[in-house]
Amino acid sequence: MSEKTILKLQLPTDPLWVKNVVESNIEEILTDHAFCEQKAASNAITLIVQNPSLSELVQEMALLVQEEMDHFKRVHDIILERGYILGRERKDNYVNELRKFIIVGGGREAQLIDRLLFSAMIEARSCERFKVLSENINDEQLAAFYHELMISEATHYSMFIRLAKKYAEEIDVDARWKQFLEYEAHVIQNYGKGETIHG
Ligand SMILES: [Fe+2]
Ligand SMILES: [Fe+2]
């Protein structure tokens, strides 16, 4: 399966990002990655708090929190194994730019669907970044780790799209997703140069 057909991302990450940026900044990347996992868990908790009556969503998010915090712990284990200490959280400009696309106002349904698609988008791009990392990084342990995480993020992406379709009544999820993809393609053009997972 190619991530292009599965995820429909419009701009692939240049593998040179791994060679030129990641490999000389592993400690930074691992800290940033750990906080990406923490933020994925926090986002799932927020979705529970905002939508307590959507039982299937609550169940899925409860599982997701556990899985993302397990990823966090595993990244943290690698950080410690390598003699590093988790650094401070860095701003994720990519995610902040994506967040601007979430509709303001527009009613409960529109808010929920956008939040789910925003989450799906981050999972999709993270999945793509992990694939590029796993295929290009000159580090056996991290190559295997990122391969495994790539599969898990692809599953999360599909779950968020499925929930969006389940809870949409008026909104055309496919059409809105297409707008998200177009916006993301525009945002990601400025990335692929920094020593963060989405950088
Ligand atoms: Fe994760
Ligand atoms: Fe995830």
At 167, which amino acid appears? Y
Mean pLDDT of the chain: 93
Angstrom distances, CA of residue 71 to CA of 102, 121, 150, 152 = 26, 19, 12, 10
Which ligand has the nearest atom to the CA of 119?
2
**pTM for the complete prediction?**
0.93
Measured in angstroms, how far is the CA atom of residue 94 from the centroid of ligand 2?
16
Measured in angstroms, how far is the CA atom of residue 119 from the centroid of ligand 1?
12
**Contacts with 105 (C-beta within 8 Å, 6 or more apart), sequence order:** none
Most distant CA pair in the chain: distance in Å? 52
What pLDDT does residue 6 have? 55
What pLDDT does residue 105 have? 84
Measured in angstroms, how far is the CA atom of residue 55 from the centroid of ligand 1?
22
Measured in angstroms, how far is the CA atom of residue 152 from the centroid of ligand 1?
7
Measured in angstroms, how far is the CA atom of residue 110 from the centroid of ligand 2?
22
What pLDDT does residue 1 have? 44
Q: Phi and psi of 26, rounded to 5°?
A: -60, -40
Which ligand has the nearest atom to the CA of 157?
2
Measured in angstroms, how far is the CA atom of residue 75 from the centroid of ligand 1?
10
Which ligand has the nearest atom to the CA of 156?
2
In the chain, pLDDT over 90 holds for what percent of residues?
A: 79
Give the tens place of pLDDT for each residue, 144-180. Answer: 999 999 999 999 999 999 999 999 999 999 999 999 9
Tens of each residue's pLDDT in the chain, 199 residues: 454 555 778 888 999 888 888 888 999 999 999 999 999 999 999 999 999 999 999 999 999 999 999 999 999 999 999 999 999 998 899 999 999 999 988 899 999 999 999 999 999 999 999 999 999 999 999 999 999 999 999 999 999 999 999 999 999 999 999 999 999 999 998 887 888 888 8
What pLDDT does residue 3 have? 47
